Amino acid sequence: MSGEPVAVTGLGAVSGFGWGVEELWRGVLSGASAIRDFHRFDHTGYRTHVASEVPDGPALDPEAGGPRLTLADRFALVAAAEALAGARLPERLEGAAAGLFFGSSTGGMFESEQFFAQLVGRPRRAPISLLSAQQPCGPGDAVARAHGVTGPVETIASACASATLALGAALDALRSGEIELALAGGSDSLCRLTFGGFNALRAVDERPCRPFRRERAGMSIGEGAAVLVLESRARAERRGAPVLAWLAGVGASCDAHHMTSPDPQGEGISRAVAAALADAGLAPAAIDFVNLHGTGTPANDSAEARMLARIFGARAPALPATSTKGCVGHFLGAAGAVEALVTVLCLEHGLVHPTPGEGTLDPGLGVDLVVGAPRALPAARRALSTNLAFGGANAACVLLHPEAA
Amino acid sequence: MTRAVVATGLGAVGPWGVGVEALAGCLAQGATRPVVVDRSAGYHAPGGARTALTASGLDLSALVPPASARRMSPPARFAVAALRLALADAGLANADHERTGIVVGTAFGPAFVTEQLLIQLLRQGPEAASPAAFTESVASASAAQMAMAVGARGPNLAITQRETSDLAALAEGARLVATGAAERVLVAAVDEMIPLLHAVLDRFRALARPGADGAEVARPFDRRRDGFLAAEGAAVVVLEAEPDALGRGARPLARLAGVVRGFDASAPAWDWGTGSGPLAATLARGLRRAGVAPGSIDLVVSGASGARRGDRLEAGVLTTLFGQRLPAVVAPKGTVGEPGGAHLAAALLAASGRAIGPTRGFEEPDPELGLRPSVAEKLPAPRRTLVSALASGGAATWVVLDAPEPSPARAV
């Protein structure tokens, strides 16, 4: 039941490490974390005072690109422009059979909160311009608008699995011939709703998150955007595009178990991984390393460890694994995008980045987490990236080295 | 590999009642009961729209037992109720859903719990925030509740694409069935209308304003149109591969003959654009790919809602595509408003041969549009229906639905 892989020809990212892919890559390799004190809003009274915040940059100037753009729009626009330039594509895509598939959890919620705060105080003065791009589709629509996309434009808002599901929708649209080129990714900004919600769930760590450590006590929220340019093999070859990697398969499933807790046996995410492998036409043995969801919550990391054992069997304890969330926090609706993007870079450089986090590896999990320094895997050709979301939605994708397809 | 996709079940709940028959009755008779929206929170600007088509009084307890309903946001309750009805309609009430996918389209997501959470966080402080409100506030909460209600363990996703969320969800559901990623997909279009959302939409001048007689009327394609009727509810469509459906003796409501998606980059974030030419070109190209000749379409179920610029864009696309040979165009949102799934449900009803009534609210043609919607009480059953939904912000989805084959013993 496998399908053709599609080429990844451009990458763009905005993260707590800065405005660009190079900043992100240097950051994740450094072993340091971008999770720290932050200033986006007053966080007095919350359980934690750390998050991964995108540093100031020219694109945050209210006049840049128009005053109605939200933070999440701005992250997405910068990432998309970088991805298109890297792919050696024009800024305008009217002439291409192009689509856009994004993930976002809250879109312009940060701005909506400002509107709402004014609305409950002085309703007549609350400026509705703050709400002009409130919904999760705001960032994706802004990118499609900026680049003249004429094909399908769709934002998936399935919490933390959104962007991986968007990669799947893009992959199928390319395979079916509906489009030849896709901007796939996601964007989310820090906001009180998400920060406060996870705070209320007691799912946040006071310290920067510690994925797969014995001491892990929850997640750290991040923000940013990641965009991948995807092209059909025919189009990429026709124009001699730089092929950075191949997106070979995406799989999805639902636990149908609980609103917040993953199936403790990791059965749901295992079915998503199995579906992604089948879609890519690969056996588990072909996978060289894994970029795990790795939020740092006790339940998530344990469910993922069970998944590794289910899928990879005896090989699981020796399968290199990493969690990008230890570096840049949880990008929520964009998590799958930044993690797929980092996985592409790991394949390209033959290096798996380390997962920051205090404490010692949880021996009960049996995960071969890369820590301290990057691990050289020059022969790595195939990698897996996983995401698990609220409501039991799971998604996984398989990425290949340029020479592996 | 792709498989032909058919719709085999439909369920809906909304302001007009519980079940597709109630919706059909409402569409036929135009009997809607707008409710005056509570303005006590002070969110509304003075004047403006006063009413909405709400479903808060519905008794859904037979479909969603109170013990589970109390854990759900209002839109999740609508969606699960419509899901039960759709599965019964498809003859799948007791089916196994190990490989069933769920795709939800929602314009605004769970607005009520989101508002509650914002009040808690911004006015009362972080300690006041309810963890349950947070988990129910995500746009995909309805998709999760639907999955848990029936044990649907296939792909599960939610799409938010404003006014085209419903058809975008149908398109993704069809994709998952066509590729075999899911055995069947339960597609939901669901939204709720709360005072905050009503007030915000009205501040954007999106809603129909009271006329001389005080009534707020959505007037699709009418010269005097000034906005849509705010509504809520849910519709669920069961999608299956055609051979599976015929193999189990199901009677399809319609067959998906094509899906076309496009984007109008001229649209601002908060309104419709003016790119009817490029959109029509995208639609024409997509129909060609699907092997659908525009001349074979004999009904358009239009997403026109009474929105000033939205309806102009819709008219521009349809007149460009069809030229002088425009088929009958019906805009059910003149009766049932939006969002809330009724457009999707009405489209399925129409494609399966049921009457969906005239375009209510339309009286005076708009000379700028060059399009008059059908006001006939009953049109001949269509063989091929084009369903449209253009979203503010730029996204567009069209779906072509073919009438079910007269004989189920059709060679594949």
Give the rounded distance of the alpha carbon of A281 from its chain centre.
23
Whether the pLDDT of residue A143 is over 80: the answer is yes
Taking the C-alpha atoms of residue B284 and residue B290, their distance in angstroms, rounded to an integer, is 10
Among A135, A149, A197, whose Cβ lies nearest the Cβ of B160?
A135
Taking the C-alpha atoms of residue B327 and residue B176, their distance in angstroms, rounded to an integer, is 31
How much is the average pLDDT of A252-256?
97
**CB atoms B143 and A256 under 8 Å:** no
pLDDT at B5: 98
Instruction: Read off the amino acid at residue B301.
Output: V
Taking the C-alpha atoms of residue A26 and residue B399, their distance in angstroms, rounded to an integer, is 46
Q: Report residue B409's pLDDT band, with 50, 70 and 90 as the boundaries.
A: very low
Best of B39, B159, B276 to mutate (most A CBs within 10 Å, chain A): B159
Active site members of A: 160, 293, 330
> What pLDDT, in 10s, does the model give residues B163-187?
999 999 999 999 999 999 999 999 9
Where are the alpha helices (H) located in A65-134, listed in sequence order? Answer: 71-86, 109-121
A144 Cβ partners below 8 Å, 6+ apart? A100, A153, A183, B263, B265, B394, B395
Tell me, yes or no, if B201 comes closer than 8 A to chain A by beta carbon: no
Q: Which residue of A has its CA nearest to B122?
A: A117
**CB atoms B159 and A155 under 8 Å:** yes
pLDDT at A132: 67
Q: Report residue A381's pLDDT band, with 50, 70 and 90 as the boundaries.
A: very high
> What pLDDT, in 10s, does the model give residues A315-368?
999 999 999 999 999 999 999 999 999 999 999 999 999 999 999 999 999 999
Domain boundaries, chain B: 5-247, 258-402
> What pLDDT, in 10s, does the model give residues B355-372?
999 999 999 999 999 999
**CB atoms B125 and A45 under 8 Å:** yes
Task: State the residue range of the domain holding A214.
Answer: 6-404
Examine residue A126 and state whether it is found in any structural domain, yes or no.
yes
pLDDT at B263: 98
Under a CB-based contact definition with an 8 Å cutoff, are residues A192 and B120 in contact?
A: no
CATH number of the domain located at residue range(s) B5-247 in this protein: 3.40.47.10
Query: In the A/B pair of chains, how many CB contacts fall below 8 A?
Result: 245
Q: Report residue B1's pLDDT band, with 50, 70 and 90 as the boundaries.
A: low
pLDDT at B408: 45
DSSP class of B121: I
Closest CA to A269 of A295, A300, A248: A300
Judged by DSSP in three states, B119 sits in: helix
Taking the C-alpha atoms of residue A49 and residue B161, their distance in angstroms, rounded to an integer, is 33
Residues of chain B numbered 29-68 and touching chain A (CB < 8 Å) = 42-45
Residue with tokens 């569409």: B27
Tell me, yes or no, if A259 comes closer than 8 A to chain B by beta carbon: yes
Judged by DSSP in three states, A323 sits in: coil
**CB atoms A132 and B270 under 8 Å:** yes
How many domains is chain A partitioned into structurally? 1
pLDDT at A64: 81
Q: Report residue A68's pLDDT band, with 50, 70 and 90 as the boundaries.
A: confident
Judged by DSSP in three states, B226 sits in: coil
Confirm whether B5-247 and B258-402 share one CATH topology. yes
- Residue B322: CB atoms within 10 A of its CB come to 18
A62 Cβ partners below 8 Å, 6+ apart? none
> What pLDDT, in 10s, does the model give residues B207-231?
999 999 999 999 999 999 999 999 9
- Considering the four listed CATH numbers 3.40.50.300, 3.40.47.10, 3.40.50.720, 3.40.462.10, the one that applies to the domain covering B258-402 is 3.40.47.10
pLDDT at A63: 81
Tell me, yes or no, if B161 comes closer than 8 A to chain A by beta carbon: yes
Helices and strands in chain A: count of H runs, count of E runs: 11, 16
Examine residue A1 and state whether it is found in any structural domain, yes or no.
no
The alpha carbon of residue B115 is apart from the nearest alpha carbon of chain A, in Å, by: 9
H/E element holding A233? helix A233-238
**CB atoms A391 and B147 under 8 Å:** yes
> What pLDDT, in 10s, does the model give residues B59-96?
999 999 999 999 899 999 999 999 999 999 999 999 99
Under a CB-based contact definition with an 8 Å cutoff, are residues A388 and A404 in contact?
A: no
Domain holding A111: CATH number? 3.40.47.10
Query: Rounded to whole angstroms, what are the CA distances from B258 to A60, B157, B341, B370?
Result: 42, 21, 20, 26
Whether the pLDDT of residue B248 is over 60: the answer is yes
Q: Report residue B412's pLDDT band, with 50, 70 and 90 as the boundaries.
A: very low
Burial degree of B103 (CB within 10 A; 0-12, 13-18, 19+):
buried
Structure tokens belonging to residue A204 = 């946040």
Examine residue A252 and state whether it is found in any structural domain, yes or no.
yes
